[in-house]
Structure 1
């Protein structure tokens, strides 16, 4: 290896280029800009305002924030559902005057006052919800009219009751506790806001109702088409918003004990600014309680700091307007361009130079031939994409197809077939368990079992999460092959944790260690990852020693051996480090050796590009995906090798005329059955020197 190649190799080992793309996929990345803006506000005003960080100032701000954040949280719920509520300021003022009038003038008991105040806010929200949700009026205009009407009602109530309210005295410690009390040193209003925020977070992220709100905000038509009651959901969000606005007004009334014509004036603009500054989208379908909290803290600090600096109220409103305009612009541009940015940085090729490919001519053990030209075809046109094939103890042949079925071809002539089980996802690697059930890796779903009565059971679809992984890699994306130990443990490969099944060319372009091997222990009911950072692991076969298994790494063009038991437990040994093509499934042969499917042959152009990660990155950014350099998966062969890695024989169909693509093969009673994920057939080849009584179930479980 040259010095330049060594430098490039270590540079890509030391710098995890893929982290930036993985960070940008996280939902919390939307909070990065709001958090940075909040930090800038704190630093800027903290440096120019004396006692900005003092305990007294923080205590005052906290009580104000508890009330203000309730408005923002209510408005956020409406925005997530794709609406807007401009009446929150007037509803806040209504809650304030209703609470004071009922308590100071009517003399109602405090519990009744609280219920009536919240009911008044909910009534305003219900009116908005009926008009916007059920009558489909424009949310902006509707809530603007509601703002005007409710403000008029508040003004009339002020004219009638303001003097009586001002002259009354409430002798209730519980009332004053609402506005001035604390729990464990935390203002009561802050406790209420935190409880509401946590509840909102759990509802949006963990409940069906929250998913309905997000779905309605994302696309009302699509939500309606899947059966979500769109009108009811929209109406409910406005009721919640009105209730929270009235609750904020109640807390404000308890803290200050007075009402005026300017109460709540302009709060709708401040709340809207806070919601958008926090990262909640005006377009709906994207928002959270955390974003509302960040935005409310930012706007409250700005407004109060400007007042302390003596800035005129007009300038204060001007600044809020400019901040709102900037936040909307950022929201729109980020929402529009996020996927463009992500597409440019997510694909992160690494240095993956391969050993020199062995020749396939002359005296090479890989020398091409036509031994597969005479393969007998089974199910021609009746099967679509049999990635793996397997036979049971009764000689029946099973294969998965592209439409989510496991098809069974009936022995002895395999001319009749039936859908054995419909598993829904893409069936890939299969194995026969000791009890005769069929175990199957299903792409995008995990590891499943089909019992002999054809019932389908999920065994596992997740594993332990990596300690230092940015993305949550506990869920299985592409489980693709498996095998079973004598004690029932199931080892299976997951080809990649970064891409879906149809995106395998992108994983090839990266040739990064995105794959892993996982162990499911049915006795303990546990799933754990045993090997990480593998280059598209795709093929597992238990060795005959009962302590290890062979596994293939497709894009690394190698076969290795992992010891799961015995004195070498936990170690990996190379078996074939330099294949001429891309290995796939591995299975046992009757003479103690192993069959290996080669899904495609290496090409000089891609081999060269694998040592040039910068070139592959530029190709991914500048060229359409259908013009990228791809691994050749159209011409394959079958290799038989022993445990030392010695190549015993190869079987080719030169030119791919009869069986053009090979991903798996199974030996059974003197025949070799062949599958291919892009084929419309299953091949069968007579093996002249094979044991005519040998079967897979007999090799594993000691029976025919």
Structure 2
């Protein structure tokens, strides 16, 4: 490479600084905070801690004799917790679950022991009775639009008074002669188990699965979440608010009835204290599990974990000999802590995420090569790109790449997701060839004449000549990382190997296409090259750990691919066949600017478009990650220090990385940004991510009969 005439951007960082920014990146915290499962992980960890504490201070806590009755009671509370979670997610609260539980318990005993109703039918009728009690709350809150807290507080008092009245007057005559229709079934429901698990616990877990599917996969569940998140928005979206709120309370009542039936089967008794204080335990568990009291956020899994935590704590306190009053105080304090955590977590989680997610890496760029006009540098500026002619001026917006078929027709993508076709020879006649629904970036021509196109935010697609848009690869194999790197985020450029495999770049696994400059600021190698095999229809990650891999070009011998790492200002070679298969080598490591797309030339070499030039300020900032971090935290994004991406040129190089030629646009020319370059039949075509045209100019000395398709696939 050429000698430098500018000093390095900074002295090499110290050992501990390099170690900190390489092995202790804060972006991992940001990745964890960005995950939807973090809210579930918190109660899961808390449950593990609670179990560990009681295992130490209470010998035999995990013995079958201790866990079996705990699981039997916990199953009933899980049913109540699921119902409460549905109500809270829908934006309400139900304080009357304990009173409904007491009434349903009495009703179940009356059906089975007094009226001699078959056991299974009694279970169904008890659930229906619970739904009817919940429907009372639903009508008052959903249709009459009364406040949930006050309404359920009133129904708590009313239902409790009725339960006390009937248990006092009729409790002694309730059980009759103890004979029931289906005694074996009742015994199994109350005291039986299957595979060591109590029947109530199995029923509760099955119900949890059903309601998980309801909330995450079914329309009613989506409506409940939408109503809890924002009633005004849900109403504007056409959701029936009153019916949805009504159904949440009916569901809560039905699950209270199911829990009461298992309680009746287990104890076969009714008293004035049945269900007393149960709402405190249930609400504590649900909130502790991470169900937001503000509504619109939470899952069944969180509710179940929260109930398990509270039941373990409650059981542990009883085994420790604490009085019931002390247990209630402890539960109240836990509920208070959970509410405080819920409020503070909702308020500060996104603030913490914003501070941690962008985590600049320590990067020490090689010395910058001179581009001064008249210097001995092979990159010295010139005006050899002159008198370019526009194609699609005023029609296309942001043609990042373009390609020409064997009939000389030109195809390019636009910001709006369209792929335009401009017809040869004058390229004035045009049409929208296809609409992709995303941002088309890199193109390749397959052997059958179809277009292979990278669509940002979508993946790798094929556009057939009859204009079908066919997805090829939208995801790849999952890596061993907290980051979900299976989805293709930013498919950028592609090329096709002789065996038909398609290699395409995915510059980042963390950001979307609109944040491509943030990737430059962070400069952390989270990009990759993916290989799609049409024979199997599967994709796998071929190379990872690249810094914004962009341009992809298969070498003429079919043995390797050339990969442009834009923000590292270098080009690397990855061997895909031959004795070096799987090896990644440095080809050009000190480009003066940022390489974008790479394509073949007619004389056996390769063209690379430089989208912008390196600057002393940004090179220096790359060696100062703490400075970039402070800038992200304290400065508005539109005032961040970004790399210069508005000054580009064309570089020709050979397979060994030697610079053959450089073409610059004149000062103030039509193409300050060049993201792609295509040579075709003696002409050069230029694309730009922010340009409003495709540029074309005659290339002196180029083969007027050479085309990219022939170079890849031979004559038709």
Partner of 2:452, secondary structure, is: strand
Residue 621 (structure 1) aligned to one of 627, 633, 636:
633
| Cα distance change on mapping 1:541 and 1:44 into 2, 3 Å | closer
Residue 322 (structure 1) aligned to one of 328, 333, 337:
333
1:535-580 Cα offsets, whole Å, 9 max, x none, are 0000101110012111100011111111111222111122111100
Corresponding residue for 1:199?
Answer: 210
Corresponding residue for 2:278?
Answer: 267
Which has the higher mean CA deviation after the structures are superposed, 326-335 or 211-220?
211-220
Matched, 1:499 2:508: no
Residue 250 (structure 1) aligned to one of 252, 261, 265:
261
| Cα distance change on mapping 1:322 and 1:400 into 2, 3 Å | same
Equivalent residue runs for 1:443-592 within 5 Å: 443-466=456-479, 468-592=480-604
The alpha carbon displacement at 1:2 in A equals 6.4
Partner of 1:285, secondary structure, is: coil
Corresponding residue for 1:642?
Answer: 654
C-alpha separation in 2, matches of 1:336 and 1:462:
34
Matched, 1:215 2:222: no
| Cα distance change on mapping 1:454 and 1:170 into 2, 3 Å | same
The alpha carbon displacement at 1:469 in A equals 0.6
Residue 422 (structure 1) aligned to one of 424, 429, 435:
435
Q: TM-score, normalised by structure 1?
A: 0.95
C-alpha separation in 1, matches of 2:444 and 2:142:
53
| Cα distance change on mapping 1:227 and 1:424 into 2, 3 Å | farther
C-alpha separation in 2, matches of 1:434 and 1:25:
42
Corresponding residue for 1:382?
Answer: 395
C-alpha separation in 1, matches of 2:239 and 2:551:
43
Which sections of structure 1, spanning at least 5 residues, go unmatched? none
Corresponding residue for 1:144?
Answer: 153
C-alpha separation in 2, matches of 1:266 and 1:7:
57
Matched, 1:609 2:621: yes
Equivalent residue runs for 1:232-251 within 5 Å: 232-251=243-262
Which has the higher mean CA deviation after the structures are superposed, 444-453 or 619-628?
619-628
The alpha carbon displacement at 1:478 in A equals 0.6
Corresponding residue for 1:411?
Answer: 424
Partner of 2:371, secondary structure, is: coil
C-alpha separation in 2, matches of 1:374 and 1:348:
43
The alpha carbon displacement at 1:66 in A equals 1.1
Residue 669 (structure 1) aligned to one of 674, 681, 684:
681
Residue 114 (structure 2) aligned to one of 105, 119, 124:
105
C-alpha separation in 2, matches of 1:305 and 1:530:
53
The alpha carbon displacement at 1:582 in A equals 0.6
Partner of 1:413, secondary structure, is: coil
C-alpha separation in 1, matches of 2:139 and 2:531:
54
The alpha carbon displacement at 1:7 in A equals 4.7
1:384-437 Cα offsets, whole Å, 9 max, x none, are 111111112221111111111112222211122221111111111111111121
1:303-345 Cα offsets, whole Å, 9 max, x none, are 3333444544444333322222221111111111111101111
The alpha carbon displacement at 1:191 in A equals 1.1
C-alpha separation in 1, matches of 2:106 and 2:15:
75
Partner of 1:480, secondary structure, is: coil
Kindly indicate whether the alpha-carbon contact (under 8 Å) linking 2:12 and 2:364 is maintained by their aligned counterparts in 1: no
| Cα distance change on mapping 1:109 and 1:270 into 2, 3 Å | same
The alpha carbon displacement at 1:48 in A equals 5.0
Corresponding residue for 1:371?
Answer: 384
C-alpha separation in 1, matches of 2:643 and 2:341:
40
Which sections of structure 2, spanning at least 5 residues, go unmatched? 1-9
| Cα distance change on mapping 1:516 and 1:230 into 2, 3 Å | farther
Kindly indicate whether the alpha-carbon contact (under 8 Å) linking 1:425 and 1:443 is maintained by their aligned counterparts in 2: yes
Corresponding residue for 2:5?
Answer: none
Equivalent residue runs for 1:281-300 within 5 Å: 281-300=292-311
Corresponding residue for 2:102?
Answer: 93
Residue 335 (structure 1) aligned to one of 346, 353, 362:
346
Which has the higher mean CA deviation after the structures are superposed, 27-36 or 279-288?
27-36
C-alpha separation in 2, matches of 1:545 and 1:135:
76
C-alpha separation in 2, matches of 1:431 and 1:229:
49
Residue 173 (structure 1) aligned to one of 179, 184, 194:
184
Partner of 2:291, secondary structure, is: coil
C-alpha separation in 2, matches of 1:166 and 1:647:
96
1:232-255 Cα offsets, whole Å, 9 max, x none, are 443333222211111100000111
Equivalent residue runs for 1:31-110 within 5 Å: 31-45=40-54, 48-49=57-58, 51-110=60-119
The alpha carbon displacement at 1:15 in A equals 3.0
C-alpha separation in 1, matches of 2:130 and 2:677:
69
The alpha carbon displacement at 1:40 in A equals 4.6
The alpha carbon displacement at 1:299 in A equals 1.7
Residue 124 (structure 1) aligned to one of 124, 129, 133:
133
1:579-610 Cα offsets, whole Å, 9 max, x none, are 00111001111111111110110011111121
The alpha carbon displacement at 1:534 in A equals 0.5
Partner of 1:639, secondary structure, is: strand
Kindly indicate whether the alpha-carbon contact (under 8 Å) linking 2:386 and 2:697 is maintained by their aligned counterparts in 1: no
Corresponding residue for 1:190?
Answer: 201
